[in-house]
Structure 1
Amino acid sequence: MSSMTNIHTLFGAEEFWVVADSEQFLNKCSNQGLKTAHITKVEALPRNSIIFSFSNSAAKLTLEIAQATPRKRSVFCAAQVFEPSLSCASYSLNLLLNSDFKKALKKQRAVLNMLNSYDLFSVTGNGSCGRVTLLPKAEPYALIAEDVSGDFIHSVAEFFEVHYAHMKPQEPCPFFFSGELNISGILTVLRKPNPMLPEDMKMKLQQLSDTLSENGGLLTVVENKVTSLRTGNGEYIEVLKMAAGTRGLELTEFAIGVNDEIAPLIDYKMNSQLNEGVGGVHLAIGDGSSGYHIDFLSPAANVSPITQ
């Protein structure tokens, strides 16, 4: 577990609790000296809390309790839609406790200002080369210091990335990307079982994740459509096409990560939501419902405005 050198950047000197629906996870946290509570045994959230849900029912209960808790500062980790295992949750908590929230929120503001000031950007660094164009009315999702100055409950992802999402396929995508990204890993999300997907899809994506974490990969995108993902001397475009559901190979997200502190600690074989917040860029396909939402993580990529 962590030495907790950075958690004070969110909660200050105040105590915090780890809340979850897994006794095994809570026992492990208690053995590390952390205060813990089972989500089914609390009527209100602690003043400061880090919450892990290992099931959809626990996630629903968490939000119900949060609504009934007037004073709260909570970071919510929906482990069940990524990987609800003890090892992945412990890994995610370690990254979270080592994250500099204050620095990340400050960087989000800087990224937000940059994105709102220009509409054309280059993506470079570590073998990546691409171009991003933003629509005039595109609005990025971001979290800044004012958003956590009072009471709140936020998904952990909100603290560590600025992103554009294309939620509704019938509407124009707010961004356009073309180029190549050097990929260190992927994340996969499926919010509920989908019988239309191949039975071995989860296994194939795990194999792809392992191969990428060991060898890296090169993602090619042409006008918002993924055309290639090569890693370990293999081409995986057909796996992506089968996994992504009705949204296919069209991009559904463009994001800039701001959590620089976790870079030395990341294991890209872990399907942890914390991984996507690392400094750099990630793109995604899929909606997580009709098919998998798949994030392609390029931690060494930099985004810079094109001014001429």
Structure 2
Amino acid sequence: MVLFLRHQLVSREIRKRFRGAKVLLVPIASFDAGLETALYTLRLTLATDYAAACEGSRRWIDDLRNRTDPITFVSKGPCSAGERETNFVCTLADDLSVDTWASPTIATGQWVSVASYCEIAITARPSADRPSPFIIDGTAVASGVLVARDPRFDDAGDARIRAAHRLRRELSQRAPIVLRLKGGVLADVRAGGDDFTDELREVTNPEYGLHVIELGLGTNRHVLPQVDWTFNSQLNEGAGPVHIGFGDGMTGAHMDFVVAEATHHFGSSL
């Protein structure tokens, strides 16, 4: 069954009621619980080819397990004169853990988020005693941007997340969005000729210093022709080949920038 949640937390009562079910969880409230966005998310949920997404996840897992060279993402086709191109390198740590669901089946009693089908998520919390599992250098050109909140957000985080929704709308109107990254940190972000670096730093919590905390490898790319980037929907996240995330969703917004058109290869080309 598909459990379509317009609330951020799954109560004990709901889990008890559906304990004998196989549950695909669509947590829309973390992004936008409005009716129009919810219907859009449901349409993409039903359009997703879960077997193909799992196959994509398994290919990525095999590559990540067996390859040690960096991953380079580049623009899929030639850009118009004067346009910035995606060209960035991800250097991965030797010890890597990922979040995904690589099986097309869900067993009785299992609850699986639709996001786990649609991406390989590699996450990091920068700290002095735990190095990041990836370092990103180069330029990413994003077609879409998403804002998410964790149900454990605090008061300061709530204010930042509300501001992030306003920033997302402006960035979406001005897309494409150009991000320049150095050593796993966002150096600047621009859209429509304007610099939004300071605004992004504030809404994602300035204490994080615009460190990238998520590298997402999209596995739901066949829905891309149906994607509308104006919606703040989690199903947009895995439709591009890669997305880059900032902020934890609690003390500030979690914002994902989705690169819609790019190819990848192993090895550095910067």
**1:277-296 matched pairs, under 5 angstroms:** 277-296=238-257
Which structure has the bigger radius of gyration? 1
Match for residue 262 of structure 1? 223
Query: Deviations along 1:2-29, whole A, 9 cap, x unmatched?
Result: xxxxxxxxxxxxxxxxxxxxxxxxxxxx
User: Percent of aligned pairs with the same residue?
Assistant: 22
Matches within 5 A, 1:155-234: 155-167=113-125, 169=127, 170-191=129-150, 194-196=154-156, 199=159, 202-203=162-163, 205-234=165-194
RMSD: 2.3
Any conservation in 1 of the 2:146–2:168 contact (CA below 8 Å)?
no
- Verify: 1:138 aligned to 2:96, yes or no: yes
Q: Taking CA–CA contacts closer than 8 Å with sequence separation of 6 or more, which of the two structures ends up with the larger relative contact order?
A: 2
Partner of 1:276: 237
Structure 1 position 54 matched with structure 2 position 6 = yes
Of 44, 62, 66, the residue aligned with 1:117 is: 66
Indicate how the Cα distance of structure 1 residues 206 and 267 shifts in structure 2: closer, same or farther if over 3 A, else same. Answer: farther
| Counterpart in the other structure of 2:42 | 93
The alignment partner of 2:210 has SS state of coil
Q: Is the 8 A contact 2:161 2:249 kept in 1?
A: no
The answer as to whether partners of 1:99 and 1:259 remain within 8 angstroms in 2 is yes
Residues 235 and 50 of structure 1: CA distance in aligned 2, closer, same or farther (over 3 Å): same
Q: Which amino acid aligns with 2:135?
A: F
What is the match of residue 108 of structure 1? 57
8 Å CA contact retained: 1:218, 1:230: yes
Matched position secondary structure for 2:64: helix
Cα deviation for residue 80 of structure 1 reads 1.6
Asked if the contact 1:219–1:226 (Cα under 8 Å) also holds between the matched residues in 2, the reply is yes
Unaligned runs of 5+ in 1: 1-48
Q: Report how far residue 209 of structure 1 moved.
A: 3.4
Whole-Å separation in 2 of the counterparts to 1:302 and 1:172: 27
Alignment-derived partner of residue 154 in structure 1: 112
**Partner amino acid for 1:304?**
H
Distance in structure 2 (CA, Å) of the matches to 1:96 and 1:156: 8
Query: Under a length normalisation based on structure 2, what TM-score does the superposition of the two structures give?
Result: 0.86
| Aligned pairs, number | 256
Normalising by structure 1, we get a TM-score of 0.76
| Structure 2 unpaired stretches of 5+ | 77-84
Residue by residue over 1:51-78, the C-alpha shift from the partner in whole angstroms, topping out at 9 and shown as x without a partner, is 122223xx322x6533564532211122
Kindly state the Cα deviation for residue 210 of structure 1 after the two structures are TM-superposed: 4.2
Q: Distance in 2 between matches of 1:207 and 1:141?
A: 28
For residues 77 and 149 of structure 1, the distance between their equivalents in structure 2, rounded to whole angstroms, comes to 14
Shift of 1:172: 1.6
